Amino acid sequence: MDGEETGNATGIEKKDFIFTVADLGSLPGIDPADVKLPRFTIEELMGRTFLFPKEDGQRLRAEIVRKINDQDAQNHQNIKLLCKVGDEGAEEIVSYQELCDLIEQQDAEEVDPTKLWTFKKILSHIGPLKPSDPNWAGSMYNVSVLWEDNSITEEPLKMFAKDDPVTVAEYAHENGLLTTPGWKHLRHIVKNQKKIGRLLKQAKLKSIRRAPIYMFGVQVPRSSHEARILDKNNGNTKWQDAEKQELVQLDDYKTFNKLGRNATPPQGYQKIRVHFVYAIKHDLRHKARLVAGGHMTEPPRDSVYSGVVTLRSMRLALLIGEINGLKTMVGDIRNAYLEAYTKEKVYFIAGKEFGEYEGYVMVIVKALYGLRTSGLVFMSVWQIHCVIWDSFRVLQMQIFGYEMQETAMSIYVSMLMI
């Protein structure tokens, strides 16, 4: 309740008061355990995307545009928001509480938020189309595609066949379309049945195509170019700011030796590529991580294995510490690998995302993420610190006559528990 009206000598006066969830238990027919408060604020919802369920079972990607400012919006229980649904931007009005519940449910269903959506199969097609047709998307035919999240979208045949000609050719073969204009160019693919079977298996492994990547309802780019497109569409520079923040941190750690534009790389060094990997954190922060293409280098002869503690060992350590009344502390080493120097001889040419250093020859001197030996050299540095720490404890006992309390340390990549 937002308030109540009480009569007095001068008229009607409105008194505002606030109920807590516990106070609701005194009201008839209300169980506080059943009361669910909104998880997101209005500001947090702006610009977010989610899957909008339609009456026919389809789920279309929708974007929250703005809050509907009407008289009902004065009561938070009646707040409504305007959403744009699908590629055509159809407008739908959804209540604030319904949106919170829907996005929270979809976040919970997202078991692996870094997983890319793939298409399952082509359901049907429409056409032939003309440029004057409302469904025209630059191709004579459109295909209806069922994606992994069970959403269905209409894609132009010309673009979809370019991305995955084998799957489209198989669909055309099954539906007798190989002699139809607009489909004829796919005939050569299905001439050899044994070959088409092999190509179909390969196509399934490469079915990660045009479907966008979403984490916590926010679209995540695959490349620096796509990041700039998303920033332009969203009217902000969050992804570009994340890239700049990552490059500043790499510069602080002196990760690269900048030789200059069009410089000659050192003899014996191999050229590789680097790229950004993007993610959305739980608090909706935009994160960009520069990763080296370590797969382009030859595997070293020596082992690069870097062991970590098992989850069972961590549970046992927590149990033993609790039984003995010991205090447990956890921490995370930021940019952990950059604490170590790499032994690999690699370099790359800086791209546009490096700003003023575009075209520079960059020699990688620190253990950048993605290199084959980064995990090993980081653990070597960490072991040296552990030896120094152990030596400090011995020295403390020799000088001051007492020793620090026994400690046990567990390490999982850059995370540690003491």
User: Of 205, 227, 256, which marks where a domain is finished?
Assistant: 205
**Share of residues in the chain with pLDDT > 70 (%):** 69
Both tokens assigned to 42 = 């209005």
Domain contains 355:
no
Question: Of residues 67 and 414, which shows the higher confidence score?
Answer: 67
- Band the pLDDT of 98: cuts 50, 70, 90: confident
Tell the burial category of 65 from Cβ atoms under 10 Å away from its Cβ (0-12, 13-18, 19+): middle
Q: Is 107 helix (H, G, I), strand (E, B) or coil?
A: helix
Same domain, 193 and 155: yes
pLDDT digits (tens, 9 = 90+) for 173-190: 888 888 888 888 877 776
Same domain, 47 and 65: yes
Buried residues in 350-389 as b, exposed as e (16+ CB within 10 A): bbebbeebeebbbbbbbbbbbbbbbbbbbbeebeeeeeee
Q: Is the confidence at residue 11, as pLDDT, over 70?
A: no
Structural contact between residues 402 and 395, judged by C-beta atoms closer than 8 angstroms: no
Predicted pLDDT of residue 114: 46
Domain contains 131:
yes
Lowest mean pLDDT among 1-10, 74-83, 263-272: 1-10
Same domain, 50 and 27: no
The region, left, alpha or beta by phi > 0 then psi within -120 to 50, assigned to residue 339 is alpha
C-alpha to C-alpha distance for 140 and 130, rounded to whole angstroms: 7
Same domain, 152 and 190: yes
Same domain, 64 and 29: no
User: Of 205, 236, 266, which marks where a domain is finished?
Assistant: 205
C-alpha to C-alpha distance for 85 and 43, rounded to whole angstroms: 19
pLDDT digits (tens, 9 = 90+) for 272-316: 999 999 998 888 889 999 998 888 887 777 766 666 777 788 888
C-alpha to C-alpha distance for 254 and 216, rounded to whole angstroms: 33
Predicted pLDDT of residue 204: 55
Q: Is the confidence at residue 400, as pLDDT, over 60?
A: no
Domain contains 155:
yes
Which among 216, 207, 230 is positioned nearest to 51, based on CA atoms?
216
Which among 76, 35, 82 is positioned nearest to 62, based on CA atoms?
82
Same domain, 152 and 81: no
Domain contains 163:
yes
Domain contains 196:
yes
Q: Is the confidence at residue 239, as pLDDT, over 90?
A: yes
Domain contains 13:
yes
C-alpha to C-alpha distance for 219 and 210, rounded to whole angstroms: 13
Domain contains 128:
yes
pLDDT digits (tens, 9 = 90+) for 31-79: 544 555 566 778 778 888 888 877 656 677 788 888 887 665 555 567 8
Which among 228, 295, 252, 215 is positioned nearest to 48, based on CA atoms?
215
Residues spanned by the domain of 16: 3-34
C-alpha to C-alpha distance for 133 and 125, rounded to whole angstroms: 15
Structural contact between residues 273 and 294, judged by C-beta atoms closer than 8 angstroms: no
Structural contact between residues 64 and 125, judged by C-beta atoms closer than 8 angstroms: no
pLDDT digits (tens, 9 = 90+) for 129-151: 888 888 787 788 888 888 766 77
Please give the span between the terminal C-alpha atoms of the chain, in angstroms, as a whole number. Answer: 49
Same domain, 54 and 129: no
Structural contact between residues 94 and 78, judged by C-beta atoms closer than 8 angstroms: no
The winner for highest mean pLDDT among 55-64, 86-95, 167-176, 351-360 is 351-360
Query: DSSP secondary structure string, 37-65?
Result: --SS-HHHHTT-EEEEEPTTS-EEEEEEE
Q: What is the mean pLDDT of residues 324-333?
A: 80
Determine how β-strand 410-412 pairs with β-strand 415-417. Answer: antiparallel
Same domain, 137 and 189: yes
Which stretches of 96-164 are DSSP H helices? 96-109, 157-163
- The count of domains in the chain is 3
**Share of residues in the chain with pLDDT > 90 (%):** 8
Predicted pLDDT of residue 4: 43
Same domain, 168 and 123: yes
Domain contains 286:
no
